[in-house]
Amino acid sequence: MGWQQKVLRVDLTAGTAKQEPLNMDWAAKYLGQRGLATRYLMEEMDPTADPLSPENKLIFASGPLTGTMSPTGGRWSVVTKGALTGAIACSNSGGHFGGEMKLAGWDMIIFEGRAKSPVYLLIQDDKTELFDARKFIWGKTVWETEDLVKSRHQDPLIRVASIGQAGENLVRFACVINDRDRAAGRSGVGAVMGSKQLKAVALRGTKGVQPDNPKAFIKAVVAAQRKVAIAANSERLSKTGTMAMMDVTNSYGSLPTHNSRDVQFRNGDKVNYRAMVTPRRSDGHANLVTNKACFACTIGCGRISRIDPQHFSIQGKEQYKSALGGLEYESGFALAPLVGVDDIEAATFANAVCNEYGMDPISFGGSLAAAMELFEEGAISEKDTGGLKLNFGSADALVEAVEITGTGMGFGREIGLGSRLLCEKYKHPEFSMSVKGQEFPGYDGRAMQGMGLAYATSNRGACHLRASPFTDDFTYVRTEGKAKIVKDSQDKNAAVDSTGICAFAHGALDLADFAKQIDAACQGEWTAERLVKTGERIWNLERQFNLAAGFTVADDTLPQRILKDAAKTGAGKGRVSELSVMLPEYYELRGWDKKGVPKEVTLKRLDLA
C-alpha cells in the first residue's frame, strides 16, 4: 500500500533508533505527512514546552504518495513546535530526500530528546546508525556536509537533509536543507534540529513502494500525469518558475516593499524574471542558466543560476562561482523589493548563502527589512550594528548582513532573532511585519484582502501556502466571500499537504484526481469528499495544538501597518485590511466560537472530541 507502515523512533538522549509500526487508525484519519505527523506530535509532547528544549519533538514525515510515480510525488515535511513562532510548524520540502526516505521503507522518523554531542543519522533501508558529527561535519555548511557524508560512505546517491551553521547557532528562522537547495524552510525547524545536536540525516533506499491496487494506481497516475502535462500553469512554471509573480504583484500593488511601507517597487524591472534571463553586459551570460525538477516531477519549476563572476559579492569566494540554486518569487521578493535592493546578482548571492548556511530567505529578508527600518528611524545606530549601514536599497548591507546572520557574528545574532524579537528588543514591535512571529511572504494584505485573512488565521504564522485566495484577490479588492474562500482552500491545502504531492500539481489536478490515486495506493475508500473532511480535521487539530500552547484570538491579527496605514498606490490604494469584517464570518464558517475555539459539535463531527 502507499504507506510503508513503519516509523523510526530515534531517541537522541539514549543514542538509539528503533522501528515501530505506523498507527494505521491515525493514518486513516490524517492520511500522512502534515496531518499524520501533527497527530503524533499532539499525542506525544506538551504543546507548552520550549521549542528548543529536549521535550520538543522533531518529525520527518512522508505522505502515502511520496516515493511513487504520482506526478510530483516527492514531497516530505518537517513537523515540530516552531522555534520562530512557538506554534505548530509544518515545513514542506521537495527535492529527492522525501522519495528516498519512502524507498528506504519509512513513513516517518521521530526524533526525541537531545544528543549529548553532535551526531548524524545514516539510514540504509532497514539499517540505521548514529554517527559522531563533532570532528566531521559539525561547524560545516550544508553544502560541505552533503559532500562529506557522501564521500565518507562512498555513495553518491545518498540523499542528505541537514542544517548549516544557522541551525547550529539556533537562528530562529534556520531551516532544514536537502539536495543543496531544497528547503523545509519556514518557522525555524532547523533551529529545533540544531537544539537537538542533530546535524544531518542521510538516506539510501532500495525497497520501492507497493500500491494497494497496482493496475488502478497506474491508471489513475497516467490520467493525472496527462492533466499536469497539458496544464497552462505547468508550462508557465517550467519556463519562468515562480519569478513571473514579481510583475503580477508589482503591477497590482501587492508587492511588500521597504518593509511593507510601500506596495510597489519602482525598480522591479531590475529584479524580475526578465532581469534573470537578460544577458549581462559584463560576461554576455544571463543570471538564469536552466530549470530543474524534483523527484517524480514533470514541471521543473526550480531555478539554476550563475552569479556574475565580476560581482563584488563573490570575489574570493569560489563556492559561489559555479551554477547554484537561483531565485524563486518568495526569495526574490524578500531579498530585493522588501529591502529595497535592485541588484539581482546580490539577491542571488544572498539566496545562495541562505541555502549554504540553512536559513529561510523570507524570514531573513523580513528581519533585515525590520532592522533597516529601525536603523533609518534612529532606533539603532552604527554603534549597534558594528559599523554596518543598514539603509534600504544597499546591496552592500544585504551581502554583509546575510553572511553575519548565517555565521552568528556581530549584529547578525540580532537579525537571527527574527523580526518580532528584534523589534521588541529595540522598542518598536510595530516594525515587525509578522503574524505569530513569522514574517510575511510576498503578498500585501491590503490589496489582497483574502491573503490578509489567510495570514492572520494561518496556524503556523504568516503563510502564502496555507490558503489560496489568489484568483479572487487579483480580481476584486473586497471582503465579500473571502472568509469562505480562505476556509475552504485551507482545508483542501491541508489535505494536499498530507499526500506527498506538490502544491503546484494542485493547479492542474482537482481533489478527485488526488483521491483516485490515494484510493488505489492505500487501503480504504478515498473520495474527494473524504479528503476535504480530512483537511478540515487536520486544520482543527493544528488549532487545538496552538490553543494548548497558549495562543488566543488576539494572535489572529495583522500588524498595525496593514490594519491602519492605507496602501499608497495600486489596486488597494487608500485601503487597509478589513480583517475585523472577515474574521467573525471565518470563525462562524469554521464552527468556532467568538474566541476562535472550536465548538464541541465541530470537534465531534471531525472525530476530534
Q: For residue range 445-456, what is the model confidence (pLDDT) as tens digits? A: 999 999 999 999
Query: Inter-axis angle of helices 528-549 and 482-496, to 10 degrees?
Result: 100
One-letter amino acid for residue 18 of the chain? K
What is the rounded CA–CA span in Å between residue 181 and residue 184?
A: 10
Q: Which residues contact 72 (CB under 8 A, 6 or more apart)?
A: 94, 228, 294, 296, 297, 298, 299, 501, 502, 504, 505
Q: Are 408 and 355 in contact (CB under 8 A)?
A: no
Q: Mean pLDDT, to the nearest integer, of 235-239?
A: 95
What is the rounded CA–CA span in Å between residue 66 and residue 258?
A: 39
Q: DSSP letter at 569?
A: S
Q: Which residues contact 215 (CB under 8 A, 6 or more apart)?
A: none
CA distance to 8, 39, 463, 536, per residue, from 42 (Å): 18, 5, 21, 16
Q: DSSP letter at 205?
A: -
Q: Which residues pair with 123 in a beta bridge?
A: 128, 203
DSSP sequence for 31-61: -SHHHHHHHHHHHHS-TTS-TTSTTS-EEEE
> For the chain, how many residues are written?
609
Cell numbers standing for residue 505: 500539481
**Within 13 Å, how many C-alpha atoms sit on residue 596's CB side?**
21
CA distance to 444, 477, 480, 485, per residue, from 449 (Å): 8, 7, 9, 11
Q: What is the pLDDT of residue 577?
A: 98
Share of the chain above pLDDT 90, in %: 99
Share of the chain above pLDDT 70, in %: 100
CA distance to 279, 323, 337, 341, per residue, from 282 (Å): 9, 17, 24, 20
DSSP sequence for 64-131: TTTTSSSTTTT-EEEEEE-TTTSSEEEEEE-TTHHHHHHHTT-SEEEEES--SS-EEEEEETTEEEEE
What is the rounded CA–CA span in Å between residue 470 and residue 128?
A: 44
Q: For residue range 473-504, what is the model confidence (pLDDT) as tens digits? A: 999 999 999 999 999 999 999 999 999 999 99
Query: Parallel, antiparallel, or unpaired: how do β-strands 6-11 and 108-112 relate?
Result: parallel
Per-position b or e across 352-372, b if 16+ CB within 10 A of its CB = bbbbbbbbbbbbbbbbbbbbb
Cβ atoms within 10 A of the Cβ of 424, count?
Answer: 13
CA dihedral for 451, 455, 460, 461, sign (positive or negative): positive
Question: Is 568's pLDDT higher than 90?
Answer: yes
pLDDT band, residue 163 (cuts 50/70/90): very high
Which residue is listed with cell 524579537? 421
CA distance to 145, 183, 306, 328, 477, per residue, from 161 (Å): 9, 9, 23, 20, 41
Burial class (CB in 10 A: 0-12, 13-18, 19+), 231: middle
Cell numbers standing for residue 591: 464552527
Q: For residue range 97-136, what is the model confidence (pLDDT) as tens digits? A: 999 999 999 999 999 999 999 999 999 999 999 999 999 9
Q: Are 458 and 434 in contact (CB under 8 A)?
A: no
What is the rounded CA–CA span in Å between residue 355 and residue 166?
A: 10
Q: What is the pLDDT of residue 292?
A: 96
Q: Of 418, 414, 495, 406, whose CA–CA distance to 461 is shortest?
A: 418
Which residue is listed with cell 525538477? 293
Cβ atoms within 10 A of the Cβ of 582, count?
Answer: 23
For the chain, how many helices (H) and strands (E)? 25, 17
Q: What is the pLDDT of residue 121?
A: 98
What is the rounded CA–CA span in Å between residue 371 and residue 27?
A: 44
CA dihedral for 36, 187, 337, 342, sign (positive or negative): negative
Torsion on CA atoms 149, 154, 160, 162, rounded to nearest 10:
0
Q: What is the pLDDT of residue 414?
A: 98
Q: What is the pLDDT of residue 97?
A: 98
Q: Are 456 and 557 in contact (CB under 8 A)?
A: yes
Q: What is the pLDDT of residue 401?
A: 98
Question: Is 284's pLDDT higher than 90?
Answer: yes
Decide: helix, strand or coil at residue 464. coil
- What is the CATH topology of the domain spanning 6-204? Aldehyde Ferredoxin Oxidoreductase;  A, domain 1 (3.60.9)
Q: For residue range 346-364, what is the model confidence (pLDDT) as tens digits? A: 999 999 999 999 999 999 9
Q: What is the pLDDT of residue 507?
A: 87
Computed over every residue of the chain, the mean pLDDT equals 98
Question: Is 171's pLDDT higher than 90?
Answer: yes
What is the rounded CA–CA span in Å between residue 204 and residue 103?
A: 8
Q: Are 496 and 515 in contact (CB under 8 A)?
A: no
pTM across the whole model: 0.98
- What is the CATH topology of the domain spanning 448-507+527-605? 1.10.599
What is the rounded CA–CA span in Å between residue 458 and residue 259?
A: 20
Q: Of 166, 559, 180, 167, whose CA–CA distance to 401 is shortest?
A: 166
**Within 13 Å, how many C-alpha atoms sit on residue 527's CB side?**
4
CA dihedral for 233, 236, 239, 245, sign (positive or negative): negative
Domain ranges in the chain are 6-204, 238-438, 448-507+527-605
One-letter amino acid for residue 99 of the chain? G
Q: Mean pLDDT, to the nearest integer, of 258-263?
A: 98
Question: Is 432's pLDDT higher than 90?
Answer: yes
Q: What is the pLDDT of residue 1?
A: 78
What is the rounded CA–CA span in Å between residue 192 and residue 468?
A: 28
Q: What is the pLDDT of residue 473?
A: 98
What angle is formed at CA 58 by the lines to CA 54 and CA 60, rounded to 5 degrees? 160
What is the rounded CA–CA span in Å between residue 24 and residue 31?
A: 9
What is the rounded CA–CA span in Å between residue 128 and residue 172?
A: 29
- What is the CATH topology of the domain spanning 238-438? 1.10.569
Q: For residue range 514-551, what is the model confidence (pLDDT) as tens digits? A: 999 999 999 999 999 999 999 999 999 999 999 999 99
DSSP sequence for 304-348: EE---TT-GGGTT-GGGSS-EE---HHHHHHTTGGGT---HHHHH
Q: Are 106 and 6 in contact (CB under 8 A)?
A: yes
One-letter amino acid for residue 472 of the chain? D
